[in-house]
Amino acid sequence: MSHSISIVFHSGYGHTRRIAQAVAESGDARLHELDAEGVLAAPDWEALQAADAIVLGSPTYMGNVSWQFKRFMDTSSSVWMHQRWKNKLAAGFTNSAGINGDKLATLGALFTFSQQHGMLWVGTGMMPANAKASTRDDVNYLASFSGLMAATPADASPEEVAVGDLQTARAFGERIRQTLQRFK
Ligand SMILES: Cc1cc2nc3c(=O)[nH]c(=O)nc-3n(C[C@H](O)[C@H](O)[C@H](O)COP(=O)(O)O)c2cc1C
């Protein structure tokens, strides 16, 4: 029996979308992008309901999820009411301009959301690249345990998302895929 992973995300300018695509590559996941108004199409809601794992992704805006992602979170209250996502796996990622940029607050919001839904949170399970010899091209250079972090300079295009962050995103997708295997 194969398990399915759905990634629901918002991206205002395309940077978080690149991260989402990299997570999807190795996680063999389906992508569900919120539109500019934070609306998710009905078939995407159905896909989330059918998924075994839901990965949550938002850029960090003003130290939190974007308002579009918050709209999605609030809209999910009807799902919450019946605990329809209970015991699905959950994981989260965010991208922002600063190396820090208060990204942990965004991951915290995603984590809390997952717990309201009774989901099972999966962290990165990755050691940090924090030695003197470490570079921006290394996996988990941003040294995040609780969720995937990426940093894209404010003046960089989506094509310039750091190679190391894309590799980290692929490793994160693989981690979620492998974690699901334990439920077989
Ligand atoms: C309204 C707004 C608020 C932002 N707030 C932050 C922030 O708190 N921390 C940070 O590091 N970057 C912040 N940024 C920069 C974005 O996180 C960064 O440009 C990111 O790559 C955007 O991702 P996206 O293209 O997927 O929307 C902000 C950008 C916008 C437009």
| In the chain, where the domains are located | 5-181
Residue 121 in tokens: 């949170």
pLDDT at position 112 is 98
Q: What is the ipTM of this complex?
A: 0.99
Among the CATH numbers 3.40.50.360, 3.30.70.2740, 1.10.1060.10, 3.30.460.80, which is that of 5-181? 3.40.50.360
What is d(CA 26, CA 47) in angstroms, rounded to the nearest whole number?
Answer: 19
Determine contact, residues 151/143, Cβ cutoff 8 Å. no
Mean pLDDT by 10 residues, the chain (184 residues): 86 98 92 98 98 98 99 98 98 98 98 98 98 98 98 98 98 97 86
pLDDT at position 1 is 46
pLDDT at position 63 is 98
Confidence (pTM): 0.98
Pocket test for ligand 1, best of 96, 102, 155 (most atoms within 8 A of CB): 96
- Whether ligand 1 lies within 6 angstroms of the CB of 61 is answered as yes
pLDDT at position 184 is 72
DSSP 4-50: -EEEEE--SSSHHHHHHHHHHHHHT-EEEE--TTS---HHHHHHHHH
What is d(CA 169, CA 149) in angstroms, rounded to the nearest whole number?
Answer: 8
- Whether ligand 1 lies within 6 angstroms of the CB of 153 is answered as no
pLDDT at position 2 is 60
Gap from CA of 155 to ligand 1 centroid (Å)? 11
